[in-house]
């Protein structure tokens, strides 16, 4: 960029920057300030307590457990979602073997593309209601109804999906993945379509099978999309407030007995229900730091040489 | 944050960027700032949720008119009154009718808001120091009273309770109410909330189901278990509870404790006694009794994971003999209750050696109305509360919301009651002075939640009664460590 261009760009950015500063950065700074107080959230009277809130966080088993759950989600949500989305996108765009040497998707790929995107148009609130019905803990639930009909589960002891400490996290994970795959499929599809067909044709001529085409051609050329998706999904995994708080038991979710707790649910409970707002602000700051570290690590760890085409 | 990346020259690209060296490509600039923005936005929303609206603190001048015998608080004519009510099971028509009556009498202009989002709507206003004049602070999103009280946001309601009653000026307002009901509004020794709706808690059953099956309503725990067994043999559940909200099963557990151990056992819990649970025979036997229901498989299948509506609807469909709840149940289930269901109330059955009689019930007031300390028109707020405690307004409530209030004989005899409400009224009469009510859920939110968690585990058979007692006691001990808890005490 030539000299003076920065000023030009800045001129355009002034208004959005001001909004950003007032509505994002300023509340941020306030939160950090409140995290050093014993603020109760319902008035402007509070005392300064220094680092007490942070010290208490280190001994708060519920919060530590919540971090652990977030980390679990952080590992599994991106991996499973991206793998599934990549697989489907590949099959839809380059998995077909019909025609005379042309590179196409499998049969009916246009139809599938639309169907896969359906979950994405549902809002999280609808999703929670929908899967509430799927996981319902008596025979009225979709899963239990099927399992009982199939004779796999005793009608008198249905599986209490969201009330089982060992199942609840996986049930939530399934919802997130189900909801997300469609979006990333479309994202990867778009990226795949920008890959020149000649490359595929060349590899086909060289006798590459589906797997080889995928790992040697598609994946390297999609790397930037995958990287972005990873950050996106990582952020989803750090949040998950809406799903957990609506689907699981407890004030702002997290049940049974804290087994599905994530940082955001612990934060909200302390902030609104227990009136420990200063303490909750400290949790918010920890969440921010973890998310920042995560995104820096992700962007660095996945950095590769870019291939221009 | 987004803009800083535009100036740094670190980046993933080293080749093919020659023409742009010394600056950044347009694509990179946009891409990177977008990426950084994306990272920060979701966390930001959480953090900003924590931030206050800022400022505030100053209450401003309070509107006040001339004080007279008929106008004990000095409501100013032509002033504005702002009323916010929780629009839940009782709707908000009753409040609109009240406001019309109030404006007519005092020449005020009232504004009305009926909402379920009490916290969302009012927390910023409390923080900014301009709360409404009257708030029905109820529902799942109520602002916890202990929290509001500790922040100095609640006004002392003693002036209202000591003012002359509208029905009989020779009496104080507090003497026209059902005894004990105002205590529910105690925080730190002061009455700061007026719990207006009179509620009874216990077990509920269908008169029709019991008649069809030939069961008699049980009076002892053994009889209760026998009915549960008969229900199980008939292919339905014995006890249904609202598992997703362990509040409800705690009603059963805590009622058993109070009835078995008497009022002392109840007060021990409210007063955070070091032997409230561990070392209390009443608590031990009661929890073991509840656990027996679980162990013998008398729970309605799947009930541990159901919400209140799912569970209660199953009960309406004759899938369980009993359900635990308060007397709002009938209003809540109006649409799903069959016409011939014949909803009945049952006091918690007795364990052997109980201190209280079978008729004893948990009864008390719910739906806390408050007058914020920093309300602009506090006088009108106080007068509003005094009017609520008149027979005229109490009857309006009974007609519009189909429930009873804490005003003694507060409903005109002409009002027709539904079967469940009638059963509740009869139960109140039968109980006489034998009513009790816990205060700890209003005093110690955290302890309440921890005991609920333990109950959830107990009902799912993941912990045993001994462990439940330990966890409940730990919650009590933790609450006792808070120096503020010294201010709460009942005798």
Tell me how far apart the alpha carbons of residues B155 and B64 are, in angstroms, rounded to a whole number.
16
Tell me the pLDDT tens digit for each residue of B172-215. Answer: 999 999 888 888 888 888 999 999 999 899 999 999 999 999 99
Tell me how far apart the alpha carbons of residues B367 and B142 are, in angstroms, rounded to a whole number.
10
Candidate from B49, B150, B449 with C-beta closest to A275: B150
Whether residue B218 has pLDDT greater than 90? yes
Tell me how far apart the alpha carbons of residues A186 and A114 are, in angstroms, rounded to a whole number.
9
Percent of chain B whose pLDDT exceeds 70:
87
How many domains would you assign to chain A?
1
User: Which pLDDT score, from 0 to 100, does residue A298 have?
Assistant: 80
Is A90 domain-assigned? yes
Q: How near does any CA of chain B get to the CA of A87, in Å?
A: 25
Q: Output the domain CATH number for residue A255.
A: 1.10.3720.10
Is A150 domain-assigned? yes
Tell me the pLDDT tens digit for each residue of B84-94. Answer: 999 887 888 89
Q: What angle do CA A63, A66, A69 make, to 5 degrees?
A: 160
Whether residue B261 has pLDDT greater than 80? yes
Tell me how far apart the alpha carbons of residues A245 and A265 are, in angstroms, rounded to a whole number.
6
Tell me how far apart the alpha carbons of residues B312 and B324 are, in angstroms, rounded to a whole number.
9
User: Between these two residues, B43 and B122, which has the higher pLDDT value?
Assistant: B122
Mean pLDDT of chain B: 85
User: Which pLDDT score, from 0 to 100, does residue B299 have?
Assistant: 96
Tell me the pLDDT tens digit for each residue of B445-465. Answer: 899 999 999 999 999 999 999
Is A267 domain-assigned? yes
Q: Which residue of A has its CA nearest to B144?
A: A273
Q: Which of A283-297, B47-61, B249-263, B415-429 has the lowest mean pLDDT?
A: B47-61
User: Which pLDDT score, from 0 to 100, does residue B32 have?
Assistant: 52
Cβ contact (<8 Å) for A249 and B38? no
User: Which pLDDT score, from 0 to 100, does residue A1 have?
Assistant: 55
Q: Which of A169-178, B35-44, B240-249, B472-481 has the lowest mean pLDDT?
A: B35-44
User: Which pLDDT score, from 0 to 100, does residue A217 have?
Assistant: 85
Candidate from A27, A144, A228 with C-beta closest to B48: A27
Is A42 domain-assigned? no
Candidate from A13, A41, A255 with C-beta closest to B453: A255
Q: Which residue of B has its CA nearest to A38?
A: B151
Tell me how far apart the alpha carbons of residues A162 and A247 are, in angstroms, rounded to a whole number.
8
For residue A288, the chain B residues in CB contact (below 8 A) are 43, 47
Whether residue B270 has pLDDT greater than 90? yes
For residue B146, the chain A residues in CB contact (below 8 A) are 275
- What structural domains and CATH numbers belong to chain B? 1-10+21-46 (no CATH), 69-491 (3.40.190.10)
Cβ contact (<8 Å) for A239 and B151? no
Tell me how far apart the alpha carbons of residues B314 and B305 are, in angstroms, rounded to a whole number.
13
Q: Which residue of A has its CA nearest to B307?
A: A249
Is A29 domain-assigned? no
User: Which pLDDT score, from 0 to 100, does residue B81 have?
Assistant: 94
Pick from A41, A158, A279 the residue to mutate for testing the B interface (most B CBs within 10 Å). Answer: A41
Q: Domain containing A221: what range?
A: 51-301
Tell me the pLDDT tens digit for each residue of B124-160. Answer: 899 888 999 999 998 878 888 888 998 889 999 999 9
Tell me the pLDDT tens digit for each residue of B406-423. Answer: 988 777 777 777 888 888
Q: Which residue of A has its CA nearest to B374?
A: A43
Q: What angle do CA B350, B356, B360 make, to 5 degrees?
A: 80
CB atoms closer than 10 angstroms to residue A248: 28
User: Which pLDDT score, from 0 to 100, does residue B13 have?
Assistant: 36
Q: How near does any CA of chain A get to the CA of B419, in Å?
A: 29
Q: How near does any CA of chain A get to the CA of B227, in Å?
A: 18
3-class state of residue B98 by DSSP? helix
Is A9 domain-assigned? no
Per-residue pLDDT of chain A (309 residues; tens, 9 = 90+): 566 788 888 888 888 889 999 999 999 999 999 999 998 887 888 889 989 999 999 999 999 999 999 999 999 999 999 999 999 888 888 766 654 455 677 777 778 888 888 888 888 889 999 999 999 999 889 999 999 999 998 888 899 999 999 999 999 999 999 999 999 998 998 888 888 888 888 888 888 887 888 888 888 888 889 988 988 898 889 889 999 999 999 888 998 999 999 999 999 999 988 889 999 999 999 999 998 888 888 878 777 766 666
For residue B150, the chain A residues in CB contact (below 8 A) are 40, 275
User: Which pLDDT score, from 0 to 100, does residue A97 have?
Assistant: 61
C-beta separation of B321 from B228 below 8 A: yes
DSSP secondary structure letters along B318-336? TSEEEEEEETTHHHHTTTT
Candidate from A26, A231, A256 with C-beta closest to B457: A256
3-class state of residue B435 by DSSP? strand
Local structure of residue A12 (DSSP, 8 states):
H
Q: Do the bridges between strand B361-370 and strand B194-206 make them parallel or antiparallel, or are there none, so unpaired?
A: antiparallel
Is A152 domain-assigned? yes
Please list, residue by residue across B144-170, b when 16 or more beta carbons sit within 10 angstroms of its beta carbon and e when fewer do.
Answer: bbbbbbbbebbbebebbbebebbeeee
ipTM at complex level: 0.84
Q: Which of A180-189, B47-56, B64-73, B295-304 has the lowest mean pLDDT?
A: B47-56
Q: Which residue of A has its CA nearest to B57?
A: A44
Widest CA span in chain A: 76
Is A135 domain-assigned? yes
For residue A252, the chain B residues in CB contact (below 8 A) are none
CB atoms closer than 10 angstroms to residue A104: 15
Cβ contact (<8 Å) for A44 and B52? yes
Cβ contact (<8 Å) for A161 and B300? no
| H helix count then E strand count, chain A | 14, 0
Cβ contact (<8 Å) for B3 and A140? no
């Amino acid at each position: 960029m030539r000299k003076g261009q920065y000023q030009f760009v800045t001129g355009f950015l002034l208004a959005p920057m001001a909004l950003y500063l007032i509505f994002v950065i300023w509340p941020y700074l306030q939160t950090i300030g409140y995290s050093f107080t014993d603020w109760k959230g319902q008035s402007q009277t509070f005392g300064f307590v220094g680092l007490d809130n942070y010290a208490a966080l280190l001994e708060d088993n519920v919060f530590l457990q919540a971090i652990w759950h977030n980390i679990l989600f952080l590992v599994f949500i991106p991996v499973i979602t991206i793998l599934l989305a990549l697989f489907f996108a590949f099959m839809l765009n380059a998995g077909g073997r019909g025609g005379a040497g042309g590179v196409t998707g499998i049969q009916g790929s246009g139809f599938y593309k639309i169907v896969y995107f359906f979950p994405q148009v549902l809002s999280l609130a609808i999703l929670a209601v929908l899967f509430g019905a799927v996981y319902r803990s008596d025979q009225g639930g979709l899963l239990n109804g099927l399992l009982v009909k199939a004779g796999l589960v005793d009608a008198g002891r249905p599986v209490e999906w969201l009330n089982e400490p060992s199942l609840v996290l996986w049930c939530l994970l399934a919802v997130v993945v189900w909801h997300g795959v469609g979006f990333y499929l479309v994202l990867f599809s778009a990226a795949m379509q920008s890959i020149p067909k000649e490359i595929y044709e060349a590899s086909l001529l060289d006798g590459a099978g589906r797997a080889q085409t995928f790992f040697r051609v598609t994946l390297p050329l999609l790397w930037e999309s995958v990287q972005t998706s990873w950050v996106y999904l990582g952020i989803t995994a750090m949040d998950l407030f809406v799903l957990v708080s609506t689907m699981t038991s407890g004030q702002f979710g997290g049940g049974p007995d804290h087994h599905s707790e994530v940082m955001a649910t612990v934060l909200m409970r302390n902030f609104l229900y227990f009136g420990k707002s200063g303490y909750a602000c400290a949790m918010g700051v920890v969440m921010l730091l973890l998310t920042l570290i995560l995104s820096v690590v992700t962007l660095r760890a996945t950095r590769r040489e870019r291939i221009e085409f | 944050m987004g803009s800083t990346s535009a100036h740094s020259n670190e980046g993933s690209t080293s080749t093919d960027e020659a023409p742009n060296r010394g600056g950044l490509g347009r694509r990179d600039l946009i891409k990177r700032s977008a990426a950084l923005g994306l990272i920060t936005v979701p966390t930001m929303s959480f953090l900003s949720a924590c931030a206050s609206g800022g400022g505030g603190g100053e209450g401003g001048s309070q509107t006040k008119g001339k004080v007279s015998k008929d106008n004990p608080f000095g409501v100013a004519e032509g002033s504005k009154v702002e009323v916010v009510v929780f629009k839940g099971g009782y709707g908000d028509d009753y409040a609109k009718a009240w406001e019309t009556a109030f404006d007519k009498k005092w020449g005020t202009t009232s504004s009305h808001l009926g909402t379920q989002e009490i916290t969302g709507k009012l927390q910023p206003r409390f923080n900014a120091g301009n709360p409404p004049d009257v708030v029905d602070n109820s529902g799942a999103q109520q602002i916890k009273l202990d929290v509001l009280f500790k922040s100095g946001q609640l006004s002392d309601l003693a002036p209202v309770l000591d003012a002359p009653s509208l029905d009989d000026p020779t009496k104080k307002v507090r003497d026209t109410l059902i005894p004990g009901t105002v205590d529910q509004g105690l925080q730190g020794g002061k009455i700061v909330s007026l719990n207006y709706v009179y509620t009874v808690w216990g077990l509920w059953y269908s008169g029709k189901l019991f008649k069809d099956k030939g069961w008699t309503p049980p009076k002892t725990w053994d009889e209760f278990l026998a009915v549960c067994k008969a229900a199980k043999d008939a292919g339905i559940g014995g006890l249904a509870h609202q598992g997703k909200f362990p509040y409800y099963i705690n009603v059963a557990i805590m009622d058993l404790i109070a009835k078995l151990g008497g009022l002392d056992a109840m007060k021990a819990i409210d007063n955070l006694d070091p032997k409230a649970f561990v070392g209390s025979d009443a608590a031990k036997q009661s929890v073991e009794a509840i656990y027996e229901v679980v162990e013998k498989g008398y729970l309605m299948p799947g009930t541990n994971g159901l919400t209140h509506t799912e569970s209660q609807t199953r009960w309406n469909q004759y899938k369980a003999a009993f359900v635990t709840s308060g007397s709002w149940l009938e209003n809540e289930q109006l649409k799903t209750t069959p016409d011939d269901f014949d909803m009945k109330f049952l006091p918690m059955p007795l364990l052997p050696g109980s201190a209280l009689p079978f008729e004893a019930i948990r009864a008390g007031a719910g739906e806390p109305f408050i007058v914020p300390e920093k309300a602009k028109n506090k006088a009108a707020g106080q007068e509003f509360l005094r009017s609520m405690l008149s027979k005229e307004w109490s009857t309006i409530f009974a007609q519009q919301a189909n429930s009873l209030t804490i005003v003694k004989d507060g409903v005109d005899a002409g009002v027709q009651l539904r079967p469940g409400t009638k059963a509740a009224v009869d139960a109140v009469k039968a109980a006489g002075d034998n009513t009790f009510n816990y205060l700890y859920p209003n005093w110690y939110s955290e302890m309440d939640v921890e005991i609920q968690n333990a109950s959830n585990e107990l009902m799912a058979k993941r912990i045993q009664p001994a462990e439940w007692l330990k966890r409940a006691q730990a919650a009590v001990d933790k609450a006792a460590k808070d120096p503020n808890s010294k201010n709460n005490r009942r005798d």
